[in-house]
């Protein structure tokens, strides 16, 4: 029976490395994309060579790109952009999730107990079909996205007409950017907003989702311009975090607290690298069985 795309990506990631780049080129779609990119660039190079340019005018590739069919341009430009965007944001969220768990050992222990109950110690891989039973782990991902949305500011929107919102006049053509992190940490919406409390998504906020329907939690945005990869991103994050915590015991050097300072930028990575010590969590024969 075939495996899903998320599980395929996960397996590729851990074939000798934990770099997200390792898995991308092993996916059939990305291999075809890589070959197609080579064909497009070869075509552009050939056409550039045959174009007559005035002296001292640099040869540019844009005219050649404009001659390519739209379908090729989409694969050449848009698809790699989407893949790279997903890679960066996913790895940042995974780093924050592990950091939060290492600074909150009770939560880390609860995730490990949940994995022991629903996956057990006799199987190597946590599968996509297991995720529905890992309710606390799903809550950990939600709480991580609440506290540390990968992109703390939303994509820009533009008002199409004059309007007044809560006494503020917004003129036509005004660019609007939503501070997602401010909403996610608003004390009028969230109790103890700066505390890491995954259980809130199993009790008081159990009906709150991250797919853009509940405006108090919109790490992927909302509406027509929200992140198109929200479902796939959640699958990858849940599957990756589950397997990491299933395979290994994580500790910080000298059992010190993780530095939670954020770096500035379009995304919100940690200001300092996450350093951990890992030890096997499963019996040796399970790693050897490769099941």
Where do the structural domains in the chain lie, given as residue ranges? 5-289
Q: Is beta strand 157-158 parallel, antiparallel or unpaired with respect to 175-176?
A: antiparallel
- Rounded Cα distance between 196 and 163, Å, is 38
- Measured CA to CA, the distance from residue 54 to residue 234 in angstroms comes to 52
Q: Which residues contact 155 (CB under 8 A, 6 or more apart)?
A: 177, 221, 225
Q: 17 to each of 131, 240, 289, how far by Cα in Å?
A: 23, 13, 19
Spatial contact of 98 and 250, defined as CB atoms under 8 Å apart: yes
Residue pLDDT, tens place only, 66-119? 555 666 655 566 666 666 666 678 889 999 999 999 999 999 999 999 999 999
| Whether this model's pTM surpasses 0.85 | no
CB 119 within 8 A of CB 128: no
Q: What is the DSSP string of 99-165?
A: HHHHT-HHHHHHHHHHHHHHT-SS-SPPPGGGGGG-HHHHHHHHHHHHHS-SSSBPPPEE-SS-EEE
Instruction: Provide the pLDDT confidence category of residue 234 given band limits of 50, 70 and 90.
Output: very high
Nearest in space to 113 (alpha carbons), one of 88, 134, 132, 128? 134
Percent of the chain with pLDDT over 70: 69
Tens digits of residue pLDDT in 5-59: 555 544 544 444 344 444 444 444 455 545 555 655 565 555 445 545 455 444 4
Q: What is the pLDDT of residue 58?
A: 47
Is 227 annotated for ligand binding?
yes
Angstrom distance (rounded) from CA 39 to CA 182: 46
Q: Please, are residues 172 and 159 in contact by the beta-carbon 8 Å criterion?
A: yes
Query: CB-side exposure of 191: number of CA atoms within 13 Å?
Result: 8
- Give per-residue pLDDT as tens, 163-215: 998 899 999 999 988 899 999 999 999 999 999 999 999 999 999 999 999 99
The superfamily (CATH) of domain 5-289 is Cytochrome P450 (1.10.630.10)
4 falls in which pLDDT band (50, 70, 90)?
Answer: low
* Of the listed ranges 202-216, 251-265, 277-291, the one predicted with least confidence: 277-291
Lowest mean pLDDT among 52-66, 228-242, 262-276: 52-66
Q: Is-contact 102 264, C-beta < 8 A?
A: no
Residue 18: the pLDDT is 42
Residue 137: closest CA among 194, 94, 180: 94
């Amino acid at each position: 029976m075939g495996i899903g795309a998320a599980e395929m990506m996960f397996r590729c990631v851990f074939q000798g490395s934990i770099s997200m780049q390792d898995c991308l080129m092993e996916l059939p779609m990305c291999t075809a994309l890589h070959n197609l990119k080579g064909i497009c660039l070869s075509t552009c190079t050939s056409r550039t060579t045959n174009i007559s340019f005035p002296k001292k005018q640099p040869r540019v590739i844009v005219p050649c790109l404009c001659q390519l069919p739209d379908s090729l341009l989409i694969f050449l430009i848009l698809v790699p952009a989407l893949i790279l965007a997903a890679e960066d944001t996913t790895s940042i969220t995974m780093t924050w999730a592990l950091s939060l768990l290492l600074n909150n050992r009770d939560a880390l222990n609860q995730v490990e107990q949940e994995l022991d109950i629903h996956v057990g110690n006799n199987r190597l891989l946590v599968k996509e079909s297991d995720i529905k039973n890992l309710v606390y782990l799903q809550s950990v991902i939600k709480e991580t996205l609440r506290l540390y949305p990968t992109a703390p500011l939303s994509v820009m929107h533009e008002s199409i007409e004059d309007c007044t919102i809560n006494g503020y006049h917004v003129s036509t053509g005004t660019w609007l950017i939503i501070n997602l992190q401010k909403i996610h940490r608003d004390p009028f919406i969230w109790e103890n907003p700066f505390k890491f409390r995954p259980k809130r998504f199993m009790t008081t906020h159990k009906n709150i989702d991250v797919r853009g329907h509940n405006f108090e939690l919109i790490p992927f945005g909302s509406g027509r311009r929200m992140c198109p990869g929200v479902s796939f991103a959640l699958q990858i994050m849940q599957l990756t975090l589950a397997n990491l915590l299933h395979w290994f015991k994580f500790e910080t050097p000298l059992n010190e607290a993780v530095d939670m300072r954020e770096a500035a930028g379009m995304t919100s990575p940690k200001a300092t690298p996450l350093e951990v010590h890992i030890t096997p969590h499963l019996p040796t024969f399970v790693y050897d069985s490769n099941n």
